[in-house]
Amino acid sequence: FRQPFIWNVSQWNGFRFALWFRLQQMLTSKGSCRSMHADQIEVISYHSSES
């Protein structure tokens, strides 16, 4: 019973890390804090609509 749960959590952590890593790349490629914040909002809202 616990094994699938652990697997799911591990998968979710991997997905979150991939999302964060991509976000970091996007933030680094842009300059201003304002555009960085806009990108973050965009990613978060996109992720919320997906799930």
Give the separation between CA 47 and CA 12, rounded to whole angstroms.
Answer: 13
Say how many domains are in the chain.
1
Contact between 47 and 19 under an 8 Å Cβ cutoff? The reply is yes
- Supply the pLDDT for residue 11: 80
Phi, psi (rounded to 5 degrees) for 31: -95, -60
pLDDT in the model for residue 37? 58
DSSP 20-31: HHHHHHHHHH--
Domain that holds residue 46: 2-50
Tokens of 12: 């979710």
Q: What is the pLDDT of residue 2?
A: 60
pLDDT at 16: 86
pLDDT, tens digit only, all 51 positions of the chain: 566 666 677 788 888 888 888 888 887 776 555 555 556 666 655 555 554
